[in-house]
Amino acid sequence: MRTVTVVALLFVLVMGWGLYQKSAPILGEIPLWNLLTDSTWQPFKNQFGFLPFVMGTIWVTIIAIVISLPLSLFTAIFLTEYSRRCVKKIVYPALDILASLPSVIYGVWGTLVIVPWISDKLAPHFVDFSAGYTTLAAGIVLSIMVLPLLVSLFVELFSSVSVDLRDTAYALGSTRWQTAQKVVMRKSLPGIFASVVLAVSRALGETIAVLMVCGNLPQVPQSVFDACYPLPALIANNYGEMLSLPMYESALMFAALLLFVVVLLFNLVSRIILRKIEEN
Amino acid sequence: MSWWLSLSKPRLKSKKMKKSIVKEQFARLLMYLSIVIVLILVASIIWTIFSRGAKCLTWEMVTSLPGGGFYIGKEGGFLNAIVGSLYIVLASTAIGLIISVPVVFFLNVYLKTKSKLAYVARLAFDVLFGIPSIVYGAFAFTLMIYFGLRTSLLGGILVETLLIIPILIRSMDEVAKNFPRELLEASYSLGATRWETMGVVMRQIAPGIATATLLSVGRSIGDAAGVMFTAGFSDTIPTSLSQQVATLPLSIFFQLSAPQIEVQNRAYAAALVLTIIVLIISLLGRFITNRFSKHNLR
């Protein structure tokens, strides 16, 4: 049993090492900094600039968090501080459903609902033309996917704030919102930060749903109505042809390594913070 | 006396108090709004998938294999994808359980509560839980090349097993962590060995194992990015581990990217089938947690 546990532990290291080995050829040829800041992507001419993909990933993630953070904060505060049992009985199963739906279903929903909505209703107010397959669409779909995770983390955080603290605030004459804002949320600020980091790392790796609505053009998006091409989509779209060129394969594995390292760091930081809070 | 006090209250309101009451009401409004948005989103997703899928779903689709010209809109169904998904999910869940149950026992029965190894192990599994499935897929793909394997059912099972082990371990561990130490001590004091004590533990965490299993089944049946690299795709039901295999999410994805309406309609039907499967699993999980955990000692 000890061996199984230790082997499972080593798996993290083996994974990082394996991906590094595979991406070593391209790292040997092109310096890391150039890989990340160059924006020409022409694999068959040996030009590998990851900037469009990195920017696409960052944009999509930022949109997702900007939408889902206020939504989930208010939902969680409502669930822990305000709501009655009957509301919880509806909202929790609804969040359960959101959490259990597979990524590809979100993709289908995105193409059926969000993409037409953006191209017909929203985009005409801002730009001349948009096909709907945009950075914004990917961000919206992603925000809904991380929503249940954020709400469940927040609910756990808020309900771990001691009742005494709340009672003290009420006794001093503060309203419910003041208590929620200045006591409950302030007390769980590190936890909120950690939860957001965790949600970011979840958003970074989402593949199929984003791939289906983001437009998949290797360009640095100039506005939210431009198509984009995040890193996971890059890997998923090109896995078929990557074996044709050794450098191409190495480039895609570098993309995977990049995701792995960033997600690993984000996860480590947030989990350590959350663990500390849980222990207290 | 109190009714008199409450009558005189409004006159005592200061400006500051009014401001905080307005703020309170505004915050409440925002909260109601967020709850409504969340509920509308869930309803929209479910309604879209059901209404769009129900129009297209026929009995033939779930009971037949793709025929000739399937991807340009001719007859056939996606039974290959349903069976393929089931193969992968069942096999990977079985292997995953065989590996993760001992790990959970080790973490909770053999190790002390404050053990360093347990802390590191839990952290590592949490981190593995967070690694996106596309990275698992890419890694498993390089592993398969290294061992000379082709994309196959075996590859799909391999990557899904790796993917669900952290989920299985961490969610079972959450239940096992609350396991009362007194029960362990009671068992030891009757002269039971650690191995025999596991029977006691097993009985207590059985609902936890069941929900963890359902959770990981739900995750692996919906995963597309991992199997994309490793399982490939095929129009037939595989008869050996080395053949390529279709999966439901990938079948939806491929059919949806086809230009023909007939093919796209089948994608919506397949999406409905997948959604129904996942919803049943999720309901079952809720039922088991509610129904069976009440017999447990706390």
B123-141 tens-digit pLDDT = 888 888 889 999 999 888 8
- Residue A262 confidence (pLDDT) above 90: yes
Q: What is the mean pLDDT of residues B226-236?
A: 84
Averaged over B158-165, what is the pLDDT? 92
Q: Does pLDDT of B275 surpass 60?
A: yes
More confidently predicted of A182 and A127: A182
Q: What gap in Å lies between CA A14 and CA B222, rounded to an integer?
A: 26
Confidence of residue B294 (pLDDT cuts 50, 70, 90): low
Residue B161 · residue B97 · CB < 8 Å: no
- CB atoms under 10 Å from CB of B234, counted, come to 18
A140-187 pLDDT, tens per residue?
999 999 999 999 999 999 998 889 999 999 999 888 899 998 999 999
A228 vs chain B: nearest CA distance in angstroms? 18
B121 contacts A193 by C-beta, under 8 angstroms? no
Phi, psi of A215, deg, nearest 5: 100, -30
Amino acid at position B151, single letter: T
DSSP codes, A92-154: HHHHHHHHHS-HHHHHHHIIIIIHHHIIIIIGGGTSS---S-SHHHHHHHHHHHHHHHHHHHH
Interchain contact A189–B (C-beta under 8 A): no
* Contact partners, residue A142, CB within 8 Å, separation at least 6: A60, A61, A63, A64, A203, A206, A209, A210
**The pLDDT of residue A16 is above 70:** yes
**pLDDT of A64:** 95
User: Across chain B, what does the average pLDDT equal?
Assistant: 85
CB B106 to CB A2 under 8 A? yes
What is the rounded average pLDDT for all residues in chain A? 89
Phi/psi of residue A193, nearest 5 degrees: -55, -50
DSSP helix/strand/coil, B104: helix
Which residue type sits at B290? Answer: N
Residues B271, A108: C-beta atoms closer than 8 Å: yes
Q: How far apart are CA A197 and CA A194, in angstroms?
A: 5
- Cβ neighbours of B117 (radius 10 Å): 16
Residues B232 and B244 sit within 8 Å (Cβ to Cβ):
yes
Name residue, tokens 């000379």: B148
**Helix, strand or coil for residue B250?**
helix
Q: Considering only the C-alpha atoms of chain A, give the largest distance between any 2 of them, rounded to a whole number of Å.
A: 71
Strand A41-42 with A47-48, pairing: antiparallel
φ, ψ dihedrals at A241, nearest 5°: -95, 0
Q: Which domains does chain A have, with CATH numbers?
A: 52-242+259-279 (1.10.3720.10)
Percentage of the residues of chain B whose pLDDT score is greater than 70 = 91
Residue A257 burial class via C-beta count within 10 angstroms: exposed 0-12, middle 13-18, buried 19 and up: buried
In 3D, which of A232, A202, A223, A190 has the Cα closest to residue A142? A202
In the structure encoding, which two tokens stand for residue B119, read together?
């802390």
- Judge whether A207 is closer than 8 Å to chain B, CB to CB: yes
* Residues A33-60 pLDDT 10s: 888 888 888 877 888 888 999 999 999 9
Interval B10-66: pLDDT, tens:
555 688 888 888 999 999 999 999 999 999 999 999 999 999 998 888 888 888 787
Stretch B208-226: mean pLDDT: 89
Question: B107, A5: Cβ pair inside 8 Å?
Answer: yes
Amino acid at A68: S
A110-114, B40-44, B117-121: least confidently modelled range: B117-121
- pLDDT at site B117: 84
The pair of structure tokens assigned to A205 is 């790796």
Name the residue ranges covered by the structural domains of chain B: 80-292
B27–A181: do the CB atoms touch at under 8 Å?
yes
ipTM given for this complex: 0.89
Pick among A2, A4, A5 to test the B interface (most B CBs inside 10 A): A5
Per-residue DSSP letter, B149: P
pLDDT score recorded for residue B122: 87
**B138 or B73: which carries more pLDDT confidence?**
B138
- Kindly list the distances between the CA atom of residue B124 and the CA atoms of A5, A203, B102, in Å, as whole numbers in the listed order: 10, 20, 16
Q: Which residues pair with A47 in a beta bridge?
A: A42
Assess contact for A185 and A154: CB atoms under 8 A. Answer: no
CA distance A105 to A97: 12
Instruction: Quote the pLDDT of residue B13.
Output: 65
pLDDT (0 to 100) of residue A27 = 86
Total residue length of chain A: 280
B/e letters for B181-203, b = 16+ CB within 10 Å, e = fewer, are eeebeebeeeeeeeeebbebbee
Write out pLDDT tens, residues B249-260: 999 998 888 888
Q: What is the pLDDT of residue B31?
A: 93
Domain B80-292 has CATH 2.60.40.10: no
B270: chain A residues, CB-CB within 8 Å = none
Residue A176: closest C-alpha in chain B: B24
Distance, in Å, from the CA atom of A16 to the CA atom of A248, rounded to the nearest integer, reads 19
Q: Are B245 and B153 in contact (CB under 8 A)?
A: yes
Give the pLDDT confidence score for residue A72 in this predicted structure.
95
Single-letter residue type at B266 = R
CA distance A21 to A236: 20
Assess whether pLDDT exceeds 60 at residue B3. Answer: no
Instruction: Decide if A143 contacts A65 (C-beta within 8 A).
Output: yes
- Determine the pLDDT at residue B204: 81
Reading the block at residue A7, the tokens are 């082997």
How many A×B Cβ pairs under 8 Å? 233
Which of B271, B224, B270 lies closest to B46, judged by CA?
B271
The answer to whether the Cβ–Cβ distance between B132 and A204 falls below 8 Å is yes
* CA geometry: angle B209, B213, B217, nearest 5 deg: 175
